[in-house]
Amino acid sequence: MNKRKIINDPIYGFVTIPYDIIYDLIEHRWFQRLRRIKQLALTDYVYPGALHTRFHHALGAMHLTGQAIEVLRSKKVDISDEEAEAVAIAILLHDIGHGPFSHALEHTLVNIHHEELSLMFMEQLNREFENKLSIAIQIFNNQYPKKFLYQLISGQLDMDRMDYLSRDSFFTGVAEGVIGHSRIIKMLNVKDNQLCVEEKGLYSIERFLTARHLMYWQVYLHKTVLVAEQMLIQVLKRAKNLAQNNGLSTPSNALNFFLNNDFNQNDLNNQGGEILNQYAELDDADIFSTLKFFKKNEDFALRYLSEGLLNRKLFKIELKNQPFDSDYKDNIRQNVTNYFGEKIDVSNFWLEGKESNTAYTTQKDEIKILLKSGKLVSMSEIDVLNLPKELITKYYLCYPKIFH
Amino acid sequence: MNKRKIINDPIYGFVTIPYDIIYDLIEHRWFQRLRRIKQLALTDYVYPGALHTRFHHALGAMHLTGQAIEVLRSKKVDISDEEAEAVAIAILLHDIGHGPFSHALEHTLVNIHHEELSLMFMEQLNREFENKLSIAIQIFNNQYPKKFLYQLISGQLDMDRMDYLSRDSFFTGVAEGVIGHSRIIKMLNVKDNQLCVEEKGLYSIERFLTARHLMYWQVYLHKTVLVAEQMLIQVLKRAKNLAQNNGLSTPSNALNFFLNNDFNQNDLNNQGGEILNQYAELDDADIFSTLKFFKKNEDFALRYLSEGLLNRKLFKIELKNQPFDSDYKDNIRQNVTNYFGEKIDVSNFWLEGKESNTAYTTQKDEIKILLKSGKLVSMSEIDVLNLPKELITKYYLCYPKIFH
Amino acid sequence: MNKRKIINDPIYGFVTIPYDIIYDLIEHRWFQRLRRIKQLALTDYVYPGALHTRFHHALGAMHLTGQAIEVLRSKKVDISDEEAEAVAIAILLHDIGHGPFSHALEHTLVNIHHEELSLMFMEQLNREFENKLSIAIQIFNNQYPKKFLYQLISGQLDMDRMDYLSRDSFFTGVAEGVIGHSRIIKMLNVKDNQLCVEEKGLYSIERFLTARHLMYWQVYLHKTVLVAEQMLIQVLKRAKNLAQNNGLSTPSNALNFFLNNDFNQNDLNNQGGEILNQYAELDDADIFSTLKFFKKNEDFALRYLSEGLLNRKLFKIELKNQPFDSDYKDNIRQNVTNYFGEKIDVSNFWLEGKESNTAYTTQKDEIKILLKSGKLVSMSEIDVLNLPKELITKYYLCYPKIFH
Amino acid sequence: MNKRKIINDPIYGFVTIPYDIIYDLIEHRWFQRLRRIKQLALTDYVYPGALHTRFHHALGAMHLTGQAIEVLRSKKVDISDEEAEAVAIAILLHDIGHGPFSHALEHTLVNIHHEELSLMFMEQLNREFENKLSIAIQIFNNQYPKKFLYQLISGQLDMDRMDYLSRDSFFTGVAEGVIGHSRIIKMLNVKDNQLCVEEKGLYSIERFLTARHLMYWQVYLHKTVLVAEQMLIQVLKRAKNLAQNNGLSTPSNALNFFLNNDFNQNDLNNQGGEILNQYAELDDADIFSTLKFFKKNEDFALRYLSEGLLNRKLFKIELKNQPFDSDYKDNIRQNVTNYFGEKIDVSNFWLEGKESNTAYTTQKDEIKILLKSGKLVSMSEIDVLNLPKELITKYYLCYPKIFH
């Protein structure tokens, strides 16, 4: 059977399955699950085209990684066939530990970082696939001697970011987010075991970073997306509370498993198998069918939040560059409390927090530029560029639209 | 409150909400439901980008309709503001009666054409909106004197097709499906109360028709899509059988309602309200969470089909231009029966049928061309063009991949 | 020195120079000349973006040919490195014999087919490059045993057409002309020494042919383009007449050489070197600076035509599907004669002719389809397709806009 | 006659002629001349697609201006029909004073700023068009009371920049240069008679500025483009010298006129008519046919430079962030002198200079942002953004590739 299939991708045209094992991994039910997990959670509430999945993203990132490997090899970087396959596996599976509506639900469903779950899945797959994923896992864990392979899949200029920026801007239709991925990849090189970009690619990198900056504010942290995700978190929190104290149960056994327990990294280490199996059952459909189930629940908060989400009747959100004034907050909180009275726990209906973004950090693992002189320097050492501000924080406040 | 919002569309750039009532209709829970109904059902099993929804399509078709109205007005076609608004409403709501995984499930869930359901929804909305949809409904029903307004939303060159061809080729990444919608729209005109295309647009129309032809075979009737949809139909059929005879019940009350009953047009006329309310609860999430529920069911067929669909382990499909030979079919059928024995009803596991497509028909309501001489002729009267073959039929046979 | 340069192409992203000899050929003054010869002559008078050159087209066709070679090799078609390089050279140079404003001027400047001139240039280059072009020339002449290599560069589905349709539709902005070149190339194969397309690519080919059909009528034979090119032909004819009879001389020595002589294929065979050298001096700039020179000439016709072309004051053109009626023509001709009197020779001011196009011919060398059964059939044998009409002819009549 | 023609633009789809007078101006021979003047001079030596003309750019800028006017009007900014037409005229003609290969030749052919020439042309056209351009000229001169109309056509966020960035990135294929022109235009507003951008457009502006930054270094000041333009300047300087001292004459009378004289602003004021008429005769064809004429001239420098340009055998260029060391320069200059001896004046063969770019300046007329609070602030006052470095200077040195 020919496993070198060709898959249509509206961004790159065609993605070719490069190795038989990649085909087999894609066929695996755990990878197929990613078809049911949207990359951008509730972002389609603002950008209706943003329905692409982690499945498609993983294929795309693998495609770009293959191109990068080809470019590096053409520049005499030594990469064996075994390593090329391993890095393809590693990038394909880098997000397999994502659950539905990450990052929103990442710390609500389980208190475990998705990368730990990805690793756990990869290790289990490694057993199923007779240790053929061993090098991929070493690369994923940055334990492989050729560090630049790790940097290809995880770093400030990795193929993960390269694909998701391209993909997210394509499907949202935010044209300004487009980056020159082909050009950047053509400019990649390796020096001193480090992935780097040739000097001629400097301005493409600058553009890449401002694209990321724009996508943060215009898409990833768009205030309507923010408030929808906050409401979803509150639904799950409320449901957890009711499950653990009042015996609430949903039609999804897997979801019930996570509502009834508060798993953390320790639990994963101790009873990983069961957690993994249940986790592998979850996808976006569980969440949405549960919202529909909840909208008829007797608990007012659960009902109110679920119906709001389903019908896109969202809370009001206020966003500022400075923290909100205490009096201002207290006042609103009091109004919410007065309005709803005992029907709700105000902590589910009055949400405050902050969001930060770092389009680029100079604190560690900077992007490296290979000057024409042969010298390797960090991005921030280059005078002519404008790096995005390191850290930008915005403060938000969400609450029901009760005051007209 | 400003209701003239701008919505990003990766195809057209931006779609502007043209009237306040359009904003209010979009906000309605029935229209929001379309966010959860994919335009192309299971087509993403072949084209992973094909996840766009009926919500987005409806907005897009409305956008193109607005452009068409503007072009016609610039050519002195008399269209009042009231009519322009009505036609925008009509195209926006033309698909509101679609359920999850139409067309696959259209005749399995209910035996009612989706256009009848759309009409029913529109009439109910008309009551809620104080009769502001009356003209829109007249246009939708082709009862409005200016027939060309109806042709804009339903015909062989309507804005519905114009958007879905553009949208489906965009999201699948099937570049050859791209049509010159801007150019075609600029060439629209009205003569003798009929929508027509100016002679200069002739070749654009030819391209539009071959694009449709290609999309049929390459996308809409792609054999993998076909087999997945056939399997889904079998799941629902089996579930209906079990629901009505063995008391099967799913977590979705709305779905149960339709599994337990076989509604037809008569029922809709008699007890429309209840049917409509239950129908409005259904979306893609019900189907997928039900598949996950079924995969643990005691019924082998339900389990087998559901798990196959979830993990994309699909039946084998054979496709031919001629009907299959009886002996050939009997043989396979017997093999399937032997293999599974009493665990299944073979009629769920051995599926035969045919699919036809008519990219263009000369049988009725042909596309009209306005010659430079001022004469109006039908597309098929024009010598230089190549119209797609009227009717192409393919025969298929699907059954489990049990013979390796 | 690294000769594997990367060149930006807005259509394909990047084109990489695949061999050192390709770089050297591109650097040659004869190939650089193609930078100054527009692909579509005066088409920018209708589509202002259509300014792309034969230089860019040659690079693009070479790029696609490289992709095709890669696809064929992945399907185990035996193509040596030497052959791959040769076919790249052959496609790169296939149009090097084009002069300015071909096809308009092809038979006015010299009565020699541009392919003969291309061959002559290639043979001369072969001498300069120490016979490194020998196989390329064999392929170009269809004298190489592997016929499919010839078919890649010359045939009804060659990489020349593939690039020019893509390029012309891109730069004109005629979106409907877009073809699925990536997909078609991925479907290429070789059977029985013949280039063919796998059955799955059938609809892409259908689209390719209708795209060609559309581009003919919408672009290549657009009536404004037609009339502009006819006027240009008349300028040159008139100039030839004056050069040979009245001693007219232009500032371009190379142009004078061709105005003073009527070279044909025989002359090329006998005195090829001198003809080639002079021909290699010609480009679009000669024509336009000569028009500017002519607009001050004492000859009325030369002045009138040149000024009209420069300022885009074009003749009127009538276009019909049938030949014009004699009386009708005589009448106009008489009017033109009366209007201008003795200032002109009416044969330069009253132009009639016909243009035909064959988007696809079944007469010879049909596109071959490789069925799933392994059988090789011709395009026209396949029932489901709509091939464009074999031959479409239109008749035109051009004359000054003197009657208002 | 219908003058509201539609013109294909590969970037925007279609550009519609908005007013009859615009059609008439486009038809004028002075505007048609812009068809023969490339927007980016010799940039196609690096980016072969960069052949677009000032004609197309002017149409595109007019198109965007029309969109901006529509947006502003929808926000209740008072713009009369007369003003809308005037601003369309002003942007259409803003570059009509460009000569061939500006900016390279701007100060070599004539020592007059192209805007002065544009104004002169507009005034002459105003006389021809019975003063219908009066308001357009007032806007162009920033003498019209509604300053924001001037800002639309000339400023740090004008429609000129918006189009040329879009157009140049499109035709070069430098994908990273793409800007969100549709979005920026939708965010335009007017406050206190000043053009401004609503706060929601902030990140689009940031992207617009980094795009400009990138285009400067990657395209406009690309070192190969730089050296080609420097060589062209030297050809013209040498020719001027020979014309004024040795009686050199070219086949182009208009070019001779400018070689024999050194016109400046004063001359324009005093003898504008004649200068304008001759200037209107010049286009790219004069330069290229003159290079071909020069390559056979007896003057070695003229020959050497012209042939180099025609065949793209360019000087070597060195580029640095700091000025070159005197000794280094003297050494090279001496080598060039030794190599060529008396055949040349070394000042034509050893070129030094510097290029600067200011993607954005805070020194004057900053882009204004309209905060949600209603306050108008300058771009540089906004904390979260990264403005490009104000001024970046690079130093270059060019000389023949004589040392291998």
Find the helix or strand (DSSP H, E) in which D238 lies: helix D223-246
pLDDT at B384: 67
Q: How far apart are the first and last CA of chain C?
A: 64
Beta strands in A288-350 (DSSP E): 316-320
pTM of structure: 0.93
Joined tokens for residue C78 = 């035996």
The residue-averaged pLDDT of A184-192 equals 97
pLDDT at D334: 94
Question: b/e string for B347-381 if b means 16 or more Cβ within 10 A?
Answer: ebbbbbeebebbbbeeeeebbbbbeeeeeeeebee
Beta-carbon separation of C49 and D52 below 8 A:
yes
User: Which residue is it, tokens 């185990």?
Assistant: C76
> pLDDT tens digit string along B117-167?
999 999 999 999 999 999 999 999 999 999 999 999 999 999 999 999 999
Joined tokens for residue A151 = 């940097």
pLDDT at C403: 59
SS3 D277: helix
Joined tokens for residue A313 = 């009747």
* Residue C226 distance to chain D (closest CA, Å): 18
pLDDT at A268: 85
Chain B contact for D3 (CB, 8 A cutoff): no
The residue-averaged pLDDT of A218-226 equals 93
DSSP one-letter code for C34: G
> pLDDT tens digit string along D117-166?
999 999 999 999 999 999 999 999 999 999 999 999 999 999 999 999 99
The residue-averaged pLDDT of D285-299 equals 96
Q: Which residues pair with C13 in a beta bridge?
A: C9
Chain D contact for B6 (CB, 8 A cutoff): yes
pLDDT at C175: 84
The residue-averaged pLDDT of A296-308 equals 96
Q: In chain A, what are the domains?
A: 6-222+367-386 (1.10.3210.10), 223-355 (1.20.1250.30)
Q: Show which of residues 352-371 on chain D sit within 8 Å of chain B, judged by CB atoms.
A: none
| Predicted ipTM of the assembly | 0.95
pLDDT at C357: 83
**Cβ-Cβ contacts under 8 Å, C183 against chain A:** 14
DSSP one-letter code for B388: P
Residue D56 carries which side chain, given as an amino acid letter? H
Chain C contact for B207 (CB, 8 A cutoff): yes
pLDDT at A301: 96
pLDDT at A303: 96
Q: Which residues pair with B131 in a beta bridge?
A: none
Q: Show which of residues 310-339 on chain C sit within 8 Å of chain B, judged by CB atoms.
A: 321
* Residue C200 distance to chain B (closest CA, Å): 9
pLDDT at C213: 87
Taking only the tens of pLDDT, chain B with its 404 residues reads 789 899 999 999 999 999 999 999 999 999 999 999 999 999 999 999 999 999 999 999 999 999 999 999 999 999 999 999 999 999 999 999 999 998 778 788 888 889 999 999 999 999 999 999 999 999 999 999 999 999 999 999 999 999 999 999 999 999 888 888 999 999 999 999 999 999 999 889 988 998 998 899 899 999 999 999 999 999 999 999 999 999 999 999 999 999 999 998 888 888 878 999 999 999 999 999 999 999 999 999 999 999 999 999 999 999 988 999 999 999 999 999 999 988 888 999 999 999 988 888 888 899 999 999 999 999 988 876 677 777 788 899 999 998 54
SS3 C9: strand
Does the pLDDT of residue C404 top 80, yes or no? Answer: no
Chain C contact for B394 (CB, 8 A cutoff): no
**Cβ-Cβ contacts under 8 Å, C32 against chain D:** 310-312
pLDDT at D277: 94
Burial of A404 (0-12, 13-18, 19+ CB in 10 A): exposed
Find the length of chain D: 404
Chain B contact for A220 (CB, 8 A cutoff): no
**Cβ-Cβ contacts under 8 Å, C166 against chain D:** none
Chain D contact for C252 (CB, 8 A cutoff): yes
pLDDT at B178: 84
Beta strands in D148-212 (DSSP E): 188-191, 194-198
The residue-averaged pLDDT of D367-378 equals 95
Does the pLDDT of residue C134 top 90, yes or no? Answer: yes
Minimal-distance CA residue of chain C relative to D49: C52
CA distance D173 to B160: 34
The residue-averaged pLDDT of A257-270 equals 91
The residue-averaged pLDDT of D281-302 equals 96
| Chain mean pLDDT for chain D | 93
CA distance A137 to A151: 14
Chain A contact for B289 (CB, 8 A cutoff): yes
* Residue C94 distance to chain D (closest CA, Å): 19
Cα–Cα nearest to D91, from D37, D191, D41, D162? D162
pLDDT at D388: 72
pLDDT at D404: 47
CA distance D312 to D292: 13
Minimal-distance CA residue of chain C relative to A180: C13
pLDDT at A396: 96
pLDDT at C4: 86
**Cβ-Cβ contacts under 8 Å, D183 against chain B:** 14
CA distance A11 to B49: 9
Cβ-based neighbours of D160, under 8 Å, separated by 6 or more: D61, D91, D94, D95, D153, D154
Least confident interval from A156-165, A383-392, B186-195, D103-112 = A383-392
User: Which residue is it, tokens 């590693």?
Assistant: A90
Cα angle for residues C91, C97, C100 (degrees, 5° grid): 120
Cβ-based neighbours of A114, under 8 Å, separated by 6 or more: A95, A97, A98, A99, A102, A106
CA distance A362 to A382: 12
The CA-based diameter of chain A, rounded to the nearest angstrom, is 71
Chain D contact for A391 (CB, 8 A cutoff): no
pLDDT at D403: 59
> pLDDT tens digit string along C149-183?
999 999 999 999 999 999 999 999 998 888 889 99
pLDDT at D384: 66
> pLDDT tens digit string along C234-247?
999 999 999 999 99
Minimal-distance CA residue of chain D relative to B187: D6
pLDDT at A270: 86
The residue-averaged pLDDT of C143-151 equals 98
Q: Cα torsion at D375, D381, D383, D388 (round to 10°)?
A: 130
